C-alpha cells in the first residue's frame, strides 16, 4: 500500500514555531554566520540533487582536476540557496562532514574553506565582476 504524504512525512517541531514562519534563508546568512549548522542539517533532508552537488564539491576539494563549475538550474523555490548553504556550511565546518556526507562522499582533505557569497540583491554585479562578463 502506498503511503499518503501525511503518513510518509514527519514535520520537525520548528515548522510550527512563529519565529520561522516568514524566514527565508539568504546566501549572506551563511557568510555572516547566522545559520546554526547542526540545526540546519537536523531539519533538512539531503535529496539526490544535493547529494550530487556535495559529492562534486568535495571531490573538487580533494582533486583540482575534477569539475570546478556547478550550475544549479532549479526554478525559483527549487532549492538552489539551500544547496549552496549546505555546501558552504560543510566547507566551513570540516567536523560536520563525516556525519552529513556519510554514504555520499568521504572527503580526504579536512581543511576549513573560506566561503564567500555574492547576492545581487544587495550589491550590483559590476562592483565585483569585470565589465566584459
pLDDT in the model for residue 132: 55
Q: Give the pLDDT band (50/70/90) at residue 92.
A: very high
Rounded to the nearest integer, the mean pLDDT of the chain is 81
More confident residue, 126 or 86: 86
The gap between the terminal CA atoms of the chain, to the nearest Å, is 54
Q: Give the pLDDT band (50/70/90) at residue 133.
A: very low
Q: Which of 67, 68, 106, 79 is nearest to 90 (CA)?
A: 106
pTM of the predicted structure, to 2 decimals: 0.73
130 pLDDT higher than 90: no
- Could you tell me the CA-to-CA distances from 48 to 18, 45, 83, 127 in Å, in that order? 30, 10, 11, 35
Q: Give the pLDDT band (50/70/90) at residue 74.
A: confident
Encode pLDDT of 103-113 as tens digits: 999 999 899 98
59 pLDDT higher than 80: yes
- Domain residue limits, the chain: 17-127
Judge contact between 60 and 66, C-beta under 8 A.
yes
DSSP code string of the chain: -PPPHHHH----GGGG-GGGTT----HHHHHTT-S-HHHHHHS----HHHHHHHHHHHHHHH-TTS-------PPTTSSHHHHHHHHHHHHH-GGGHHHHTTTT---S--PPPP-----TTTS-GGGTS-TT-
Q: Which of 2, 7, 26 is nearest to 80 (CA)?
A: 26
Report the C-alpha gap between 93 and 32 in whole angstroms: 14
More confident residue, 130 or 46: 46
pLDDT in the model for residue 97: 95
pLDDT in the model for residue 18: 60
Amino acid at each position: 500500500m502506498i503511503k499518503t504524504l501525511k503518513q510518509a512525512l514527519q514535520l520537525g517541531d520548528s515548522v510550527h514555531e512563529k519565529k520561522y514562519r516568514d524566514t527565508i534563508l539568504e546566501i549572506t546568512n551563511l557568510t555572516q554566520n547566522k545559520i546554526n549548522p547542526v540545526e540546519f542539517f537536523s531539519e533538512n533532508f539531503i535529496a539526490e540533487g544535493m547529494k550530487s552537488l556535495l559529492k562534486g564539491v568535495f571531490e573538487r576539494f580533494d582533486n583540482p582536476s575534477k569539475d570546478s563549475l556547478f550550475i544549479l538550474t532549479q526554478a525559483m523555490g527549487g532549492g538552489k540557496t539551500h544547496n549552496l548553504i549546505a555546501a558552504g556550511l560543510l566547507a566551513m565546518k570540516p567536523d560536520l562532514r563525516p556525519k552529513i556526507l556519510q554514504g555520499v562522499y568521504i572527503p580526504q582533505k579536512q581543511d576549513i574553506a573560506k566561503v564567500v557569497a555574492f547576492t545581487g540583491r544587495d550589491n550590483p554585479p559590476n562592483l565585483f565582476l569585470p565589465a566584459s562578463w
